[in-house]
Structure 1
Amino acid sequence: METTLSEFLECVPELPENVKYVASERFKSPTTGEPLEWEIRPLSNAESERIKVQCQKEATKKGRLNQARFTKLYNDTVMVECTVFPDLRNGQLQDKFGVKSADPVELLGKMLCLPGEYNGYLEKVTEVNGFVVNQYEEAAEEAKND
């Protein structure tokens, strides 16, 4: 089937929706006892590029990019920018978790204090933004099943 330009001109691309995700089983509703859901939104490509440029500047010293620092800064910033709820910039929430710097990255680290929770949230945010998570593991599983 051949695609035509008119099809692109006529179609209206679907906008990605926000995703609800239980980032930690430790946060439970006081009324229902159910785990609380976080809301994650996808970034636009322009937002992602702006974050990359900002993080590259912060991770560069004397003209040399520290790749590990860049990756950490980028991942942390993306997780914060994608988090719709809870509001990681909320002063009351920061006070509850003892965040003195008003840094939403610090709050995220204190809320998802277990390494597995933090990494799981990063994987979910990555997935919401259209990246294939564990693509090599999935490919290996497919190869085993063939």
Structure 2
Amino acid sequence: MDLQAFLRPEVLPAREMEVILSERFCDQDGNPVPFKLKGISEDENSRIRRSCQRQNHNGTDAPVFDRENYLRAFTAACVVSPDLKNQSLQQSWGVMGAEALIGVMLTAGEFAKLFAAAREVCGFISGSEAETVKNTLKKDCGRETVN
């Protein structure tokens, strides 16, 4: 085995991708503006997972994992553009924090697309699996949502 391929200078940077979530986000010429995403490291993912654990209030020592908070935090961490941490952007939507911003800024279907893209850019799923996730998450109470 060639160890050289695993040395830091030889490893390619984390994958990046763009995804158009909706026709709602357009530039001045009316063209849809993509969200830009970049894969995060496992260290960052682990930090996010730990931050989403809460103390169990039923008397046991086992922590409770807040899945919804994790999905938002993981997805927000992958977004490079728009800058979800930008204070002006957050203020324009009346929220504080990147996770809160994507919660109010995106429709459920748009979030599903963004989450699927975040999983794909991090290498959790392939492009075809991402499509399946998008389609599954778009279902709302047994009916398709309209994009």
**Structure 1: any 5+ residue segments left out of the alignment?**
139-146
The corresponding residue for 1:126 is 119
The corresponding residue for 1:60 is 55
| Aligned-partner Cα distance in 1 for 2:72–2:120 | 15
The corresponding residue for 2:80 is 84
Measure how far apart 1:91 and its partner are. Answer: 1.5
Please tell me whether residue 110 in structure 1 is matched to residue 108 in structure 2.
no
**Structure 2: any 5+ residue segments left out of the alignment?**
134-147
Count of residue pairs the alignment pairs up: 123
Please tell me whether residue 93 in structure 1 is matched to residue 86 in structure 2.
no
> Which amino acid letter does the alignment assign opposite residue 17 of structure 2?
V
| Aligned-partner Cα distance in 2 for 1:105–1:51 | 12
RMSD (CA atoms) = 2.1
Paired-residue identity, %: 28
Please tell me whether residue 41 in structure 1 is matched to residue 38 in structure 2.
yes
Measure how far apart 1:118 and its partner are. Answer: 1.0
The corresponding residue for 2:70 is 74
| Aligned-partner Cα distance in 2 for 1:78–1:16 | 15
Measure how far apart 1:81 and its partner are. Answer: 1.2
- Whether the 8 Å contact between 2:14 and 2:40 is mirrored in structure 1 is no
**Pair member with larger Rg:** 1
Q: Which one has a larger percent strand, Structure 1 or Structure 2? A: 2
| Equivalent position to 2:47, from 40, 45, 50 | 50
Q: Secondary structure at 2:52's aligned position in 1? A: helix
Measure how far apart 1:64 and its partner are. Answer: 3.8
The corresponding residue for 1:143 is none
